[in-house]
Amino acid sequence: MKRASSDGRPANYIRRREQVSERRSDSDNVRGPAEMTRAIGAVPALVVLDIEASIRFYESAFAATDFERHYIPDGSLVYASFMLGNARIGVTVEDGRWNRSPHSLGGSPVPIDLEVDDADAFIDQARNAGAEILIAVADHAYGRSGRIVDPFGHVWIITSNRSEAR
């Protein structure tokens, strides 16, 4: 007689689930959460069409510092990173395969939330360097915040005074 699960799944499904459960419980190689390697940081890599132009923009608009540049053997710049306060941000060139820019995707898939000392001044400086204001800076329960899009299509949420929010 064929076994079936209570939800009607066939016997071979039940056997596979039992085998997986047995392997998991018998394995000495499975590490628990306390034994896993901890992440110590993350560097988002923004994909752009023109990496040199992005470096110039982030330097003038965001006062980015500490640039690191990575070249491939033919001399092409393919990756750079910089500091915004204590956060490292990367920029990489679109390659048409796995690195696709917001321009190719039709928009920014992930907004970057950046906390600054003065959201108004930061957004003014970014606008003067070529960013477009999407949402003007305004007071919110969590602080002052506004949104901009940089010339490369990346959306930035600029926020200040989180700890002093009403």
Helix (H, G, I), strand (E, B) or coil at 94: coil
The domains found in the chain, sorted by start residue, are 45-160 (3.10.180.10)
User: 99-136 pLDDT, tens per residue?
Assistant: 999 999 999 999 999 999 999 999 999 999 999 999 99
For residue 6, what pLDDT is reported?
54
Task: Evaluate whether 108 touches 152 at the Cβ level (below 8 Å).
Answer: no
Phi, psi of 32 (to 5 degrees): -80, 170
Residue 153 burial (CB count, 10 A):
19
For residue 166, what pLDDT is reported?
45
When the pLDDT of each residue in the chain is averaged and rounded to a whole number, the result is: 85
| pLDDT mean values, one per 10 residues, the chain (166 residues) | 51 52 51 72 94 97 95 96 94 91 93 96 98 97 96 98 62
Say what the pTM is: 0.74
For residue 97, what pLDDT is reported?
85
Residue 55: which H helix or E strand, with range? helix 51-62
